[in-house]
């Protein structure tokens, strides 16, 4: 009869040295946002999901602040220029900025402890928020295509060209700053929803860039340049939508990147006591990896030593792997 051993571990489980310098002031605050650290890395490992939720929450709040400032500057330009078209574009940007609220709610929900009903916790709410973000990107693409076709069929002269160009520059810069921040932090903490929200901000920035190019076309007395550029931007937004949809769909279906599986397999097979990997499963829950592993070991090996070695390897290979079950049985040649 096969002997089996189970282990339910939080990775990593070993202390690491802490030897970097501390930054102070505004520079230190931003450095801590993008590179959080702890004086006790074992404590950080135990609370890794909570720490990364805090990073996500701060990132979304900063993004909302940047978008709010951008919208306020555009409102000032609207008041000074009196452009109705510019007012509509500003209102659209404000509405898109509010799309970050579902993501913010998801990060706050993910901080809650598991319950008897939600035994895995609330990390999946982050992936559900990604659905709303993808839908909002699709709506943005639809609006761009609709407006572009309308202006292609019935071109309208663009007034207050200078003000429109100024507002477009502000909109592009503000949205692109948000996109860079959210995509960078999303990649760092493993949040597909935060990356999708960053891609959404990028679509809004591209829309503002299209307005800027349209203003240039109007200045050159080329009114058809506006809808033509709009159609091109709409196509770009569709590609961005496809990328965001693939990320969110992957998470909702408990899919992982194949290279993550290969990393685990490599780390496990480096242990000479492992005869065979019978089963390996990984999945994302929010921005944390969970998984389980069933191994066949060679006879006369210490299962606890094998598990400790695997945990040590994976703590360096996959720092996002926070919850991992290891099941061991003995290899039977018969």
pLDDT, averaged across the chain = 77
182: confidence class by pLDDT, cuts 50, 70, 90: very high
Q: For position 88, what pLDDT does the model report?
A: 61
User: Of the segments 83-92, 94-103, 152-161, 238-247, which one has the largest average pLDDT value?
Assistant: 238-247
Q: For position 7, what pLDDT does the model report?
A: 45
3 vs 235: CA distance, rounded Å: 58
| pTM exceeding 0.75 | no
CB 238 within 8 A of CB 143: no
Q: For position 237, what pLDDT does the model report?
A: 80
Taking only the tens place, the pLDDT of each residue in 1-59 is: 444 444 444 454 443 434 444 445 545 544 444 444 443 333 433 456 667 778 888 99
Paired with 56 in beta bridges are none
Q: Across residues 269-295, what is the average pLDDT?
A: 86
324: confidence class by pLDDT, cuts 50, 70, 90: confident
31 vs 29: CA distance, rounded Å: 5
CATH superfamily entry for domain 47-252: Cation efflux protein transmembrane domain (1.20.1510.10)
Q: For position 153, what pLDDT does the model report?
A: 81
Instruction: Specify the long-range contacts of residues 138-144, CB closer than 8 Å, at least 24 apart.
Output: 138/241, 140/96, 140/200, 140/203, 140/204, 140/207, 140/237, 141/203, 141/234, 141/237, 141/238, 141/241, 143/92, 144/207, 144/210, 144/230, 144/233, 144/234, 144/237
Q: Across residues 185-191, what is the average pLDDT?
A: 86
Q: Across residues 179-201, what is the average pLDDT?
A: 88
Query: Any idea where the domains of the chain sit in the sequence?
Result: 4-8+257-330, 47-252
Is the domain spanning 4-8+257-330 CATH 3.30.70.1350? The answer is yes
Q: For position 156, what pLDDT does the model report?
A: 67
Tokens of 122: 């609330």
């Amino acid at each position: 009869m096969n002997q089996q051993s189970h282990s339910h571990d939080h990775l990593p489980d070993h202390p690491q040295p802490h030897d970097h310098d501390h930054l102070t002031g505004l520079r230190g605050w931003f450095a801590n946002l993008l590179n959080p650290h702890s004086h006790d890395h074992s404590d950080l490992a135990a609370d890794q999901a909570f720490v990364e939720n805090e990073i996500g929450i701060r990132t979304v709040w900063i993004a909302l602040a940047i978008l709010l400032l951008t919208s306020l500057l555009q409102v000032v330009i609207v008041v000074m220029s009196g452009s109705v078209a510019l007012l509509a574009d500003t209102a659209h940007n404000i509405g898109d900025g509010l799309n970050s609220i579902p993501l913010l709610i998801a990060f706050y929900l993910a901080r809650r402890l598991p319950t008897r009903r939600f035994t895995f916790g609330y990390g999946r709410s982050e992936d559900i928020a990604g659905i709303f973000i993808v839908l909002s990107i699709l709506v943005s693409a639809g609006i761009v295509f609709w407006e572009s076709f309308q202006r292609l069929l019935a071109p309208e002269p663009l007034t207050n060209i200078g003000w429109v160009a100024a507002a477009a520059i502000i909109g592009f810069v503000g949205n692109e700053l948000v996109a860079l921040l959210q995509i960078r932090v999303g990649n760092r903490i493993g949040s597909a929803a935060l990356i999708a929200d960053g891609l959404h901000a990028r679509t809004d920035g591209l829309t503002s860039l299209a307005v800027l190019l349209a203003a240039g076309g109007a200045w050159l007395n080329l009114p058809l340049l506006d809808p033509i550029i709009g159609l091109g931007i709409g196509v770009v937004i569709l590609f961005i939508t496809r990328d965001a949809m693939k990320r969110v769909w992957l998470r909702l279906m408990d899919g992982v990147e194949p290279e993550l599986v290969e990393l685990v397999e490599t780390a496990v097979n480096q242990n000479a006591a492992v005869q065979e990997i019978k089963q390996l499963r990984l999945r994302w829950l929010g921005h944390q990896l969970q998984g389980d592993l069933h191994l066949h070991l060679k006879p006369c090996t210490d299962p606890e030593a094998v598990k400790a070695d695997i945990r040590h390897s994976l703590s360096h290979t996959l720092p996002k792997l926070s919850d991992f079950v290891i099941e061991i049985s003995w290899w039977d040649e018969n």
